[in-house]
Chains A and B, each alone.
Chain A
Amino acid sequence: MFKKILIANRGEIAVRIIRACREMGIKTVAVHSEADRSSRHVTLADESVCIGPGPATESYLNIPNIISAAEISGADAIHPGYGFLSENTYFADVCESCHIHFIGPSKEAIEKMGHKSAARETMEKAGVPVIPGTGIVSVDDPGLPKQARKIGYPIIVKAVAGGGGKGMRVIKDQDGLIAAIQLAQTEAKAAFGNGEVYLEKYLEKPRHIEIQIVADNKGKVIYLPERECSIQRRHQKLVEESPSPIVNEHLRRKMGKAARRAAEAVDYVTVGTVEFLVDKDENFYFLEMNTRIQVEHTVTEMVTGLDLVKEQIRLAAGERIDYDRDDYPARGHAIECRINAEDPDHDFRPSPGTVEQLILPGSPGVRVDTHIYPGYVIPTYYDSLLAKLIVHAGNREEAVKRMERALGEFTIEGVKTTIPLHRKIVAHPVFRKGDACTDFITTYLSSTNGTK
């Protein structure tokens, strides 16, 4: 087992990882920017090293300073958290050459899953269903309209290097085909420096459902109960729950086995997530694999009783999965709401400032993962996630009521947050029925969604 882990991250996930390490008897090293000097993860860790100024490119993405911090503190492993360097092949490679253990899958697995069209090919070969689509397209190709017809409209054009909704466009019919591709190419080039795009069948009213997998380095892969993450705005998740209200035992097994094949195809080790889109006829399609711990891992922890961060660390250290079956039952129902420092009434614009008042909800089945405290100044350099409110109850109906109650108590003053929006979501009849699809926010809460 590792003796000292450096956490190459900040915010709630750095706090989460430090807590897991403490319970495992592993020493921790926090790294931080100058803007994060008084952040919670710095206080909680056994040691801390300042790695650069506020901007992430000069601190949390500064590979030489992070590696150097591991060297001077004597850390034998680095936990990358999510975002920042967590899916960076080069970083995983540098860790390896410096004899520091990267807590995550192999760099080959990150690479194979990081490139969307390569991942698609790997999945097709492994027998994991993918959305009908094309390779990289060119507007000069005379066969393009025919290819598009074969997929069937509506079609979505996506950037090869994409993410976060950039370089994406929905095409309703052939008239808009060329213009939409050109627009997407320009947008992709500007956002990622790579203008390559491809076409895919656009699923109307899909659900975003993902399978958490856990894998050891002896080839054993188990899948955990699915997470439903359909409530999003601009392709960013807002609410996640487990299990999904629409997944039955049959579909769960089918998706679980597909996720396992996906992990096996890249010799995946530690924890990871295979994301699927599910249509109204229970067809599911591979979306992407996240080769890291995810923000919403908590709902899976609540329904399984597992500590996924500890599992991740153990598996990275080479321990084996000590479990006979390949699936894992869910106990009860869990929901997570992401509390962001954003103003939902003004197009979710960031709302930095000082947390003047903080009152957390409590009682059985309520969990809050956060790095904020009264007086905490939210830096402007990083993402807006302030806290994750997670509830667990015997069934979905009770969990929704518990979330409603907890959101009613949760008070953050000094900055605008998404708490009022979450109250509207959990009170909405469509959400309560479990019918929310990925268009939920734009369709039902468009007045709070502001301008598109």
Chain B
Amino acid sequence: MGDKKNPLEEQLKELIDFCRETDLREVVWEKNGTKISFQRSGISAVPAGSAKQSPSMAETADKASPEPFFIRSNMVGTFHRSDSKDRPPLVVEGTIVAAGQPVGTIEAMKIMKDVVSPIPCRISKALVADGHAVEYGQPLFEIEREGAEENV
């Protein structure tokens, strides 16, 4: 890496490119006391119900009919479809959501936390009923990606 301008940045770029080409959801890279870890914004790169080798994310995004992805739980708790009692679900099948938009809440230790969509997408299926317990990494919604923007 010798005299490159910013070797770390170069390496990081290489690492992200590498990640893009594979199905990796999470990368932890450690060298000489420097540690970098990143995740693909809570979205599975593996299309639902597909046992075969899945195409890369870039490939998927180019396709005419988008393959399903998931919004997953990033904590343990009780899942709610709405943000408070007696309110309708925040999203239903077909709702178009923006990146960062709340799609549900998870209650843990009497505290409610929003579940947000990491990318712009269309909700195609709710997978967990209101009031059900969820674990870390559990798929909550099946989604279709909106737009072809790559999201790592």
Q: Is B29 at the interface (CB under 8 A from chain A)?
A: no
B100 at interface by CB-CB < 8 Å: no
Is there contact, CB below 8 Å, between A72 and B77? yes
Which of B37, B39, B77, B78 has its CB near the most chain A CB atoms (within 10 A)?
B77
Cα distance, A347 to B137, chains bound together (Å): 37
Residues 36-56 of B at the A interface (beta carbon under 8 Å)? 37, 39
The reply to whether A64 and B136 form a contact with Cβ atoms under 8 Å apart is no
| Distance, CA A50 to CA B108, complexed state (A) | 14
Residue B101, interface by CB 8 Å? no
Q: Is A64 in contact with B108, judged by CB distance below 8 angstroms?
A: yes
Question: Is there contact, CB below 8 Å, between B136 and A51?
Answer: yes
- B126 in the interface, Cβ–Cβ < 8 Å? no
Q: Is the CB of A50 within 8 A of B109?
A: no
Which residues of chain A are within 8 angstroms of B130 by Cβ–Cβ distance? none
Instruction: Please provide the chain B residues from 107 to 152 with a CB less than 8 Å away from any CB of chain A in the complex.
Output: 108-109, 133, 135-138
Is B28's CB within 8 Å of the partner chain A?
yes
Q: Is the CB of B137 within 8 A of A34?
A: yes
A55 adjacent to chain B (CB < 8 Å): yes
A256 within 8 A of B: no
B28 with A68: CB separation less than 8 A: no
Is the CB of A67 closer than 8 A to any CB of chain B?
yes
**Does A225 make an interface contact (CB < 8 A)?**
no
* Contact A68 B76, CB 8 Å, known A53-B26, A55-B28, A98-B109: yes
Residues in B whose Cβ lies below 8 Å from that of A72: 76-78, 133
- Chain B residues with Cβ below 8 Å from A15 are none
Q: Does A269 contact B (CB under 8 A)?
A: no
Most chain A beta-carbon neighbours within 10 Å: one of B26, B28, B109 = B109
Q: Which residues from chain A contact B109 at a C-beta distance below 8 Å? A: 64, 67-68, 71, 98
Tell me how far the C-beta of A20 lies from the nearest C-beta in chain B, rounded to whole angstroms: 25
Most chain-A CB neighbours within 10 Å: which of B39, B75, B76?
A: B76
Q: Measured between alpha carbons, how far is A64 from B78 in the docked complex, in Å?
A: 13
**How far, in whole Å, are A34 and B109 apart by their CA atoms in the complex?**
22
A68-B108, A68-B109, A72-B133 known; A49 vs B26 contact (CB < 8 Å): no
**Bound-complex Cα distance A186 to B26 (A):** 34
Interface residues on B, range: 10 to 19
Interchain nearest-CB distance for B75 vs A (Å): 6
Query: Considering the chains assembled together, what is the distance between the CA atoms of A402 and B26 in angstroms?
Result: 46
What's the least CB distance linking A74 to chain B, in Å? Answer: 10
**Is A69 located at the chain interface by the 8 A CB criterion?**
yes
Closest Cβ–Cβ distance, residue A29 to chain B (whole Å): 11
When chains A and B are docked, how far (Å) is the Cα of A66 from the Cα of B77? 10
Q: What are the residues of chain B within 8 A of A51 when measuring CB–CB?
A: 76, 135-136
A68 touching B77, Cβ below 8 Å:
yes
Are B108 and A49 closer than 8 Å at their CB atoms? no
Size of A's binding interface in residues, CB under 8 A: 19
How far is A50 from B76 in the complex, measured between Cα atoms in Å? 8
Q: Which residues of A contact B137 (CB under 8 A)?
A: 34, 50, 53
Residues of chain B within 8 A of A64, CB atoms compared:
75-76, 108-109
Q: Which residue of chain A has its CB nearest to the CB of B75?
A: A65
Q: What chain A residues lie within 8 Å of B26 (beta carbons)?
A: 53-54
A64-90 interface with B by 8 A CB criterion? 64-69, 71-73
A52 CB-CB contact with B under 8 Å: yes
Q: In the bound complex, do residue B78 and residue A65 qualify as a contact, i.e. CB atoms below 8 Å apart?
A: no
CA separation between A178 and B64, bound complex, in Å? 72
CB-nearest residue of chain B relative to A97? B109
Shortest CB–CB separation between residue A4 and chain B, in angstroms? 14
Select from chain A the residue with minimum beta-carbon distance to B111. A64
Q: Give the most central of A55, A67, A72: most B CB within 10 Å.
A: A72
Q: Closest residue of chain A to B39, judged by CB?
A: A53
Q: Are B78 and A50 in contact (CB under 8 A)?
A: no
Residues of B within 8 A of A49 (CB): 76, 135-136
Residues of A within 8 A of B75 (CB): 64-65, 68
Across the interface, name the chain B residue whose C-beta is closest to A49. Answer: B135
Mask for B49-69, Cβ within 8 A of A = 1, else 0?
000000000000000000000
* Interchain CA distance A71-B108 in the complex, whole Å: 8
Closest to A37 in B: B137
B136 → A minimal CB distance (Å):
5
> CA separation between A68 and B113, bound complex, in Å?
13
Nearest Cβ in chain A — how far from B41, in angstroms? Answer: 14
Nearest-CB residue, chain B, relative to A380 = B28
Chain B residues, CB < 8 A from A34: 136-137
Tell me the smallest distance from the CB of A395 to a CB of chain B, in Å: 49
Chain A contact residues, CB within 8 Å of chain B:
34, 49-55, 59, 64-69, 71-73, 98
Additional pairs, 19, CB under 8 Å, beyond known A65-B136, A66-B76: A34-B136, A49-B135, A49-B136, A50-B138, A51-B135, A52-B136, A53-B26, A53-B136, A53-B137, A54-B28, A55-B37, A64-B109, A65-B75, A68-B108, A68-B109, A69-B135, A71-B108, A72-B77, A73-B133
